[in-house]
Amino acid sequence: MGTARPAHDGAERQRGAVMSRAVLSIGSNLGDRLAHLRSVVDAFAPWLIRVSSVYSTAPWGGVPQQHYLNAVLLVDDPSADARDWLLRGQELEQAAERVREVRWGARTLDVDVVWCADRRSDGVRVCRSTDPTLTLPHPQAHNRAFVLTPWFEIEPEATLEVQGRPSPLRDLLDALDPAEREGVRLTELTLRRAEP
Ligand code: A4P
Ligand code: MG
C-alpha cells in the first residue's frame, strides 16, 4: 500500500510478461504551447499507442491565468513501470524549462500520470498508490474535463476508479458542471505526425 512501484521480479520482466500501460495528461499555457505538447509526443513516440486531439481549455483550479492547450496520450512499454512514466514526464517538463511557482499555476509543460496498469500473464492489474510523489489514479482526474474529454475521445470504453469504484468516463463527464465541460474546446491543431 502506498507505493506505485509494482513488484516486478526480474525474470518476469525478461520474459516480457509485465507491460505497463499508462494514460498521460499533457498541458501547456506558457510559451509555444503546441511545441511543448509536441515535445512529449516526439519523446514518447516509441511507446505511443494513441494520441488525442488538442483542446483549448479554461484554466482549472482557481488561479487566474491564460487558457491551456491539453491532450491525452495512451502509452505502453514492456520495460516501464508507473514511476518510469512520471520520471520521463518530469524530464520533459525540465527540458521545457518549467518553473514551479504556484500550485495549479501557469506552466510551459505539465505531464501527469492519470492512470497506469500492468499487463501480466495472469491479467491486467490497475496501479493504485497513495504515495504523494505518485498518486494513482491521479486524484483530480475525475474532476477535470480537460483530462476526461480527450481521454474519452481515444478510449471511450475506459473506466476510472473514484473512491474505489470504477466509473465509465462518460458517466464522470456527465457528472461534471456543464460550465466545466464547456470550458474544453476541440481545436484543429494536431499532435499526430503526418504519414510519410
Ligand atoms: N505527483 C503525485 N501524483 C502524480 C501523478 N499521478 N502525476 C506529484 C504527476 N505528478 C504526480 O506536481 C507536484 C507533485 O505531484 C510532483 O512532485 C509529483 O511527484 P508538480 O507538477 O510539481 O506541481 P503542480 O503541477 O503545480 O501541482 P499538481 O498538484 O500536480 O497540479 P496538477 O494536478 O498537475 O494541475 N488547467 C487546465 N485547463 N489544464 C491543465 O493542464 N494543469 C494544472 C496543474 C492546473 N490547471 C490546469 C492544468
Ligand atoms: Mg503536475
Cβ 64 under 6 angstroms from ligand 1? no
Largest CA-CA distance found in the chain, in angstroms, rounded: 50
C-alpha 140 – ligand 1 centre gap (Å) = 9
pTM of the model: 0.90
C-alpha 12 – ligand 1 centre gap (Å) = 32
Give the Cα separation of 15 and 121 in Å (integer). 10
Contacts by residues 180-184 (CB-CB < 8 Å, ≥ 24 positions apart): 180/60, 180/143, 180/144, 180/145, 181/145, 181/149, 183/57, 183/58, 183/60, 183/145, 183/146, 184/55, 184/56, 184/57, 184/58, 184/70, 184/145, 184/146, 184/149
Per-residue pLDDT tens digits of the chain, which is 196 residues long: 344 444 344 444 444 445 689 999 999 999 999 999 999 999 999 999 999 999 999 999 888 889 999 999 999 998 898 999 999 999 999 998 877 677 777 789 999 999 999 877 777 889 999 999 999 999 999 999 999 999 999 999 999 999 889 999 999 999 999 999 999 999 999 997 665 5
Which amino acid, 91? E
Domains and CATH numbers, the chain: 10-138 (3.30.70.560)
Q: Are 150 and 72 in contact (CB under 8 A)?
A: yes
Question: Which ligand places an atom closest to the C-alpha of 104?
Answer: 1
Could you identify the atom of ligand 1 that is nearest to the CA of residue 132? 2
Which amino acid, 77? D
Nearest CA residue ID for atom 21, ligand 1: 110
Could you identify the atom of ligand 1 that is nearest to the CA of residue 61? 46
Report pLDDT for 63: 84
Cβ 140 under 6 angstroms from ligand 1? yes
Report pLDDT for 19: 65
Give the Cα separation of 102 and 105 in Å (integer). 5
